[in-house]
């Protein structure tokens, strides 16, 4: 929830609108170097103990939507482990500080999710540090804009698939023995699963795959009392976009075609992740929750 409580906020003017300055960072990009700096809820999210005592692992929790979810989870009382690439340590340090200020246990584990061995190790370390695990958020993703399929190398295609499809597979397999009834798995889908852009050929496929695994796994794990859901954002202002996820031309007008004529901010999705993990969402499984500013199909 927001500090403003019940005061009405106009969604059209709540956050910056394009045009944005063109800006590029080498992959994977750092949120604190963006202009404007994204809002992850650092100054606005106020918790109410909805996840007190819960134990969560969030991949890609250093920036973007994962960071917003991590801050919200911590302020809702959950102990949290975030994973991230070693190059993202400076962003990770910031979010870890915010989480620890909330009075919960917060840990960061750097590594590359494209490696099955790291995914297994990540789950083991998370379980050890948190003394268990009951929320797994598969948020980390890789996205590169390419004008043509001819511009995508096998190596680049493999990186997108390994990060977005293989890693959740490995993580879920490793986590399942630790997940008790009432636990939640949350995947990050996208409007790209429903209306793919011509320049995101490989990324869009992975988001369709995410949507599919959420619905399939929900049926498989429902009898075990484990819920599986997904979140499908539209254009959200994150480091993913300015480190190759969009062309510089698209960055300048990013989010312009939404109903509010602006991109979303990570903070605007945080409460969805809280809701999907909370006990009072106990009938929600196999669902894809959209937050796309007027587009998408969920």
Q: Where are the beta strands (DSSP E) in the chain?
A: 55-59, 79-84, 106-110, 135-138, 184-188, 227-233, 288-291
What is d(CA 288, CA 63) in angstroms, rounded to the nearest whole number?
22
- What would the two tokens of residue 286 be? 């196999």
Q: Are 84 and 92 contacting, i.e. CB atoms less than 8 angstroms apart? A: yes
Q: Report, as residue numbers or ranges, the catalytic residues.
A: 203
Other CB atoms within 10 A of residue 228 CB: 26
Residue whose C-alpha is closest to residue 135's, from 172, 96, 97: 172
3-state SS assignment for residue 187: strand
Q: Where are the beta strands (DSSP E) in 183-251?
A: 184-188, 227-233
What is d(CA 138, CA 206) in angstroms, rounded to the nearest whole number?
13
Residues pairing with 80 in the sheet: 56, 106
What is d(CA 288, CA 298) in angstroms, rounded to the nearest whole number?
6
What does the DSSP assignment read for 195-245? S--TT-HHHHHHHHHHHHHHHHHHHHHGGGT-EEEEEEE-SB--HHIIIII
């Amino acid at each position: 929830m927001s500090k403003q409580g019940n005061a009405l906020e106009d969604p059209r003017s709540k956050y910056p609108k394009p045009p944005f300055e063109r800006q590029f960072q080498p992959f994977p990009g750092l949120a604190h170097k963006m202009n404007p700096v994204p809002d992850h809820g650092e100054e606005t999210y106020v918790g109410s103990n909805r996840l007190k005592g819960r134990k969560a692992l969030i991949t890609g929790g250093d920036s973007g939507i994962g960071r917003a979810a991590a801050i919200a989870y911590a302020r809702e009382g959950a102990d949290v482990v975030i994973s991230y690439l070693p190059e993202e340590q400076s962003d990770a340090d910031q979010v870890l500080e915010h989480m620890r200020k909330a009075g919960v246990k917060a840990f960061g584990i750097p590594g590359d999710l494209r490696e099955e061995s790291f995914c297994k190790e990540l789950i083991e370390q998370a379980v050890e540090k948190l003394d268990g695990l009951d929320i797994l958020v598969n948020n980390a993703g890789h996205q590169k804009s390419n004008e043509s399929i001819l511009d995508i190398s096998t190596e680049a295609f493999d990186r997108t698939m390994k990060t977005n499809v293989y890693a959740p597979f490995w993580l879920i397999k490793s986590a399942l023995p630790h997940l008790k009834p009432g636990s939640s798995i949350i995947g990050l889908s996208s409007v790209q699963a429903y209306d793919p852009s011509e320049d995101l050929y490989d990324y869009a496929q992975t988001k369709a795959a995410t949507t599919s695994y959420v619905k399939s796994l929900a049926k498989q794990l429902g009898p075990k009392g484990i819920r599986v859901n997904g979140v499908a954002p539209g254009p959200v202002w994150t480091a993913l976009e300015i480190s190759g996820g969009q062309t510089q031309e698209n960055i300048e007008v990013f989010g312009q075609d939404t109903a509010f004529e602006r991109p979303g901010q990570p903070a605007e999705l945080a409460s969805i992740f809280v809701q999907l993990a909370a006990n009072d969402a106990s009938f929600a499984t196999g669902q894809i929750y959209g937050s796309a500013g007027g587009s998408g199909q969920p």
